Structure 1
Amino acid sequence: MADRIVLNGELVEQGEISLPVNSEGLSYGYGLFETIKIRDGRLCFFNEHCERHKASVFAAGMSLGFSNKDLFWQARSLIEASSVVDGALKIVTAKSGSKNLTYLHFKRTSKIDNQRPTRIRLSSLVKGSSAFTVKHKTLNYMDNISELSLAEEHGFDECLFTNERGELTECSMANIFFERSGAIQTPSLDCGLLDGIVRAKVIKIAKESGLSVLESKFYPEDLEDSERVFITSSGKGIAPVEEVDFGRILRFDDEVSGVVKVLSSRFDELERESLGQYAE
């Protein structure tokens, strides 16, 4: 599965390509990426991911050079050539001198087992709320990866960040939600976090279902009187959280029931519908 990639629109063997070691993408993490779930050999929320990628590439002062339709057929050719049924595809655009490189390849699946609840550890690393790297999926992901690894070393599945004001932001690979005071609550984007594709879908579903949704500034202590906590990402969808450790252990209702069940059921429907997307 990992032997082939698409490089600037061409399907090639991975072992046959070389990337310049002094490129800005490799040397400084100057690039953007998207991770798209593959379900039944098809791409989930493909157009949404492409639109976000294009916006981030433009914000970074680069150009993509491919339309959604171009990327769609490149991804389809790679999936079919590699006979992938379920997994994840990455679209990467990186700076290399006066040119940009766009390549597609498969990503290993998350270590989190969706059949069991997630355990989260509060990270001591502080994220800057106005940093470009917290609002876009850049190749400079060292903070996220190292803090996730540290959490895993302590027996947890994820880590949770705060910003310079002590406000909750997001996890290393997911957005966070909690059910509290009769509302679905989640940190607002101005706290410094990625505008997640699944995050946006969950907020929309909740509002359409008549649930109260509050995007605001929250602190670790606000989790103390929450009934449920769950995280969202393209790979995991909606995953319930069993435990959060921020100096003391908080435990939550980890059953896929109530509000979480309503959201999960409707999200699954939307994800299935998105498999029929055709990039316009």
Structure 2
Amino acid sequence: MSVYDYILTHTNFVRKDDLKYPFEERGLQFGDGIYEVIRVYKGQYYLIEEHVERLYRSAEAVKIDIPFTKKEMYSHLDELLRKNSIDTDAKVYLQITRGSAPRDHAFPSNTTANLYAYVQDLPRKMDIMREGVSTITQPDVRWDWCYIKSLNLLPNVMAKQTASEAGCFEAILHKDGEITECSSSNVYLVRDGKVYTHPAKKNILHGCVRMKVEHFCKEEAIPFIEEAFRVEDIQYADELFLSSSTAEVTPITKVDGHLVNEGKPGPITRTIQQKYEQDAKIEEASSIFAQEV
């Protein structure tokens, strides 16, 4: 996928070929930064308020001063889509680091944060959302503050790569057998008509789509229980699904080679997928249900 021409930085809009950072950049050297991935449908942001709020929470947690007010951030992000003439399904990647300074673990003084944001096309992943995905379980070796959406993603990358090498879409992470989340998504277990997921504590990312899943469940009178389940509970699951800004709501039909619900997406997962499409104003022709008989 190619990146569109214009990139938003902490000073102005620049063409991607003109973007240059010094080699002493704290995001590169320390992972000293934060980021967001924001979904766009037909040129319109989805859940942008939730993403911007989380961005500023992450910045506050790691003591990074964002060079824009929230009002300016919204304006600049809108302008980013306009400048690139976005009217399709896409995603915006936004990253802020502490800045560029001589390498030292301690925070540099009088350093301006580096910021950039860019747009990429992102068609909906129709096949996996209709049919479901295979996953594996992996130990969760990440740090304890995963609620901060930081650039320190090497454990996530390694888990995702292990899943990829096993022919799977995702890695379901666990600490001492207790499921936390996936390498790049939140995960849910359905049993006896109830949806279970890890509580929104510091050791998981408080996903923007996760918040919507909770809301959808409440609208449909589906019990949403913030209670961690264990690896051994998966074999008794009626359904499993995951959520993220890029994968939306996706059924999990296989874990460690074992089928979930005979390898078919379940009714509660389907209900939440329908609610998501309605909330995101997905056109009927683009619905994952459009071609189902």
TM-score scaled by structure 1? 0.88
Amino acid at match of 1:28: F
- Matches of 1:107 and 1:123 in 2, distance apart? 30
| Paired residues for 1:91-170 under 5 Å | 91-96=94-99, 97=101, 98-107=111-120, 109=122, 113-128=128-143, 131-132=144-145, 134-163=146-175, 165-170=176-181
Look up the match of 2:92: 89
Look up the match of 2:55: 53
Moved more, 169-178 or 100-109: 100-109
Which one of 258, 267, 274 corresponds to residue 276 of structure 2?
267
Name stretches of at least 5 consecutive residues in structure 2 with no aligned partner. 102-110, 283-293
Look up the match of 1:277: none
Amino acid at match of 1:26: L
- Matches of 1:110 and 1:225 in 2, distance apart? 34
Determine helix, strand or coil for the equivalent of 2:20.
coil
Instruction: Provide the aligned length of Structure 1 versus Structure 2.
Output: 267
Question: Cα gap change, 1:44/1:259 in structure 2, threshold over 3 Å: closer, same or farther?
Answer: same
Question: Cα gap change, 1:267/1:175 in structure 2, threshold over 3 Å: closer, same or farther?
Answer: same
Amino acid at match of 1:78: L
Name stretches of at least 5 consecutive residues in structure 1 with no aligned partner. 274-280
In the alignment, structure 1 residue 189 sits paired with structure 2 residue 195: no
- Matches of 1:24 and 1:141 in 2, distance apart? 15
Which one of 197, 220, 233 corresponds to residue 209 of structure 1?
220
Look up the match of 1:28: 30
State whether residues 168 and 191 of structure 1, in contact with CA within 8 Å, keep that contact through their aligned partners in structure 2. no
Identity %: 23
Displacement of 1:212 in angstroms is: 1.3
- Matches of 2:141 and 2:124 in 1, distance apart? 24
Amino acid at match of 2:220: S
| Paired residues for 1:229-268 under 5 Å | 229-245=240-256, 249-252=258-261, 255-256=264-265, 258-268=267-277
- Matches of 1:95 and 1:116 in 2, distance apart? 42
| Paired residues for 1:59-78 under 5 Å | 59-78=61-80
Amino acid at match of 2:21: L
Displacement of 1:81 in angstroms is: 2.4
TM-score scaled by structure 2? 0.84
State whether residues 230 and 241 of structure 1, in contact with CA within 8 Å, keep that contact through their aligned partners in structure 2. yes
Amino acid at match of 1:259: I
Displacement of 1:204 in angstroms is: 1.7
Question: Cα gap change, 1:140/1:11 in structure 2, threshold over 3 Å: closer, same or farther?
Answer: same
Q: What whole-Å deviation, never above 9, does each CA across 1:238-263 have from its counterpart, x for those lacking one?
A: 11111011xx6243355455222222
User: Which structure's residues are more often strand, by fraction?
Assistant: 1
Amino acid at match of 2:211: A
- Matches of 2:5 and 2:151 in 1, distance apart? 21
Determine helix, strand or coil for the equivalent of 1:214.
strand
Amino acid at match of 2:206: D
Question: What is the root-mean-square deviation of aligned Cα atoms in Å?
Answer: 2.2
- Matches of 1:108 and 1:144 in 2, distance apart? 23
Look up the match of 2:290: none
- Matches of 1:137 and 1:208 in 2, distance apart? 28
Determine helix, strand or coil for the equivalent of 2:156.
helix
